[in-house]
């Protein structure tokens, strides 16, 4: 069975709650090398609710140190850039300060490994992912404009180092294709334990520009897909409508019949999913006229601070000199919108606007 445990908590009780979760899902940490993998999407301060809470990361770090881990690394590969971006994102997210000497720039050493996927034959992982005896996955409870939700599966996309993350968007261009690709990456190195930071959720325009919503929970499971299944249910959507979960089930990586949800589970009222994840627009977009009706990114010049994030991450170099976007190159992966710190990249389109008003 795939047990999922949800515990209500608050900022003062995080360490106690983490200990409870680790008692329920024990790990043989002693004398092992541990990678703690938070979500550090980019240089967003903690109050934005984009990255994993520094307090949650610190609580997990303290726990594994107390259990006798031989070596502990805390790190992620952010959405933008490589070596320098890792350090900047770690500092601004508060995670570097929270973890001190254990914060590791995991993008500095890489290794190419084969992957079973119809989209790619191999990917470039951070070497720390390969070297770790145990990986503890720390995603945040959020929506995502492309994949509908970002949880345990999507957080392992951070295994990928450097610019390859952007390039992979050119291999899986639609929501369905990209979701399948990240499941293939997740399956290559399944985390040993997933703890979901649900202290504050993000709804609507996730993963970086949505609306924050207090939940006050931490969730854990040995089975990360079971966590995503539970997140989908809590969000009020059918798990089988989430391409990641559907594909994981199809490939035998996950069985919804085996999920047992325990603890403080509740379905959230009126939780706002991304409009782009509407089944109507997904069907039309993926099967009929994808290039024409999928919403296109548009730069809001008043909000833009010309930081260059969108240009740095664009996998097809469609983001040309501000504020011009070359729509002939744009594959509508929305990396630009995902990484914009000012919410200056908006999604526009006639059908999209109609669905937003539904």
User: What's the pLDDT score for residue 82?
Assistant: 52
What average pLDDT does range 191-196 have in this prediction? 99
Q: Which residue among 263, 298, 328 closes a domain?
A: 263
208 lies in which domain range? 2-263
What average pLDDT does range 71-95 have in this prediction? 83
Separation of alpha carbons 235 and 277, rounded Å: 13
Please check whether residues 233 and 343 belong to one and the same domain: no
Q: Per the domain annotation, does 268 fall within a domain?
A: no
- Please report, in angstroms and rounded to a whole number, the separation of the first and last CA atoms in the chain: 38
Please check whether residues 246 and 287 belong to one and the same domain: no
What average pLDDT does range 73-91 have in this prediction? 79
User: What's the pLDDT score for residue 83?
Assistant: 47
Please check whether residues 37 and 171 belong to one and the same domain: yes
CATH code of 225's domain: 3.40.50.11440
Q: Which residues lie below 8 Å from residue 316, measured CB to CB, with a gap of 6+?
A: 170, 329, 330, 331
Please check whether residues 109 and 227 belong to one and the same domain: yes
Q: Per the domain annotation, does 8 fall within a domain?
A: yes
Q: Per the domain annotation, does 271 fall within a domain?
A: no
Indicate whether 287 pLDDT > 90: no
Q: Per the domain annotation, does 325 fall within a domain?
A: yes
Number of domains in the chain: 2
Please check whether residues 240 and 323 belong to one and the same domain: no
Please check whether residues 205 and 294 belong to one and the same domain: no
Separation of alpha carbons 233 and 325, rounded Å: 37
User: What's the pLDDT score for residue 131?
Assistant: 98
Indicate whether 37 pLDDT > 50: yes
Q: Which residue among 240, 263, 286 closes a domain?
A: 263
Separation of alpha carbons 68 and 70, rounded Å: 6
The pLDDT tens digits of the residues spanning 265-285 come to 999 999 999 976 555 555 555
Which stretch of 2-6, 77-81, 149-153 has the lowest confidence by average pLDDT? Answer: 77-81
Please check whether residues 258 and 345 belong to one and the same domain: no
Separation of alpha carbons 67 and 31, rounded Å: 9
User: What's the pLDDT score for residue 3?
Assistant: 99
> Percent of the chain having pLDDT more than 90?
68
Please check whether residues 15 and 57 belong to one and the same domain: yes
Beta strand residue intervals within the chain, DSSP E: 2-8, 33-38, 71-74, 110-114, 122-126, 134-138, 140-144, 148-150, 193-203, 211-221, 259-263, 296-299, 345-348
């Amino acid at each position: 069975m795939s047990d999922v445990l949800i515990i209500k908590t608050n900022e003062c009780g995080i360490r106690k709650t983490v200990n409870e979760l680790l008692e329920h899902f024990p790990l043989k940490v002693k004398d092992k090398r541990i990678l703690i993998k938070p979500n550090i999407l980019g240089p967003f301060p903690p109050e934005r609710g984009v990255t994993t809470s520094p307090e949650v990361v610190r609580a997990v770090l303290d726990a594994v140190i107390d259990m006798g881990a031989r070596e502990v690394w805390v790190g992620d590969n952010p959405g933008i850039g490589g070596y320098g971006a890792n350090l900047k994102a770690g500092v601004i997210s508060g995670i570097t300060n929270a973890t001190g000497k254990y914060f590791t720039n995991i993008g500095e050493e890489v290794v190419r490994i084969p992957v079973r996927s119809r989209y790619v034959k191999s990917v470039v992982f951070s070497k720390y992912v390969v070297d770790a005896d145990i990986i503890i996955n720390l995603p945040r409870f959020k929506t995502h404009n492309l994949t509908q939700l970002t949880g345990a599966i999507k957080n392992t996309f951070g295994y990928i180092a450097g610019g390859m993350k952007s390039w992979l968007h050119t291999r899986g261009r639609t929501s369905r294709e990209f979701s399948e690709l990240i499941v293939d990456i997740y399956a290559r190195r399944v985390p040993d334990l997933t703890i979901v930071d649900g202290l504050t959720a993000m709804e609507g325009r996730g993963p970086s520009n949505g609306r924050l919503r207090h939940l006050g929970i931490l969730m854990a499971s040995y089975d990360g897909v079971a966590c995503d299944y539970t997140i989908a249910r809590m969000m009020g959507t059918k798990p089988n409508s989430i391409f990641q979960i559907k594909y994981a089930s199809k490939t035998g990586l996950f069985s919804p019949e085996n999920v047992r949800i325990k603890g403080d589970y509740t379905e959230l009222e009126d939780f706002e999913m991304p409009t782009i994840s509407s089944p109507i627009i997904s069907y039309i977009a993926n099967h009929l006229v994808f290039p024409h009706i999928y919403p296109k990114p548009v730069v809001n010049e008043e909000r833009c601070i010309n930081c260059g994030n969108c240009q740095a991450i664009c996998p097809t170099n469609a983001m040309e000199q501000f504020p011009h976007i070359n729509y002939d190159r744009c594959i509508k992966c929305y990396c630009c919108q995902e990484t914009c710190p000012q919410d200056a990249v908006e999604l526009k389109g006639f059908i999209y606007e109609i669905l937003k008003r539904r």
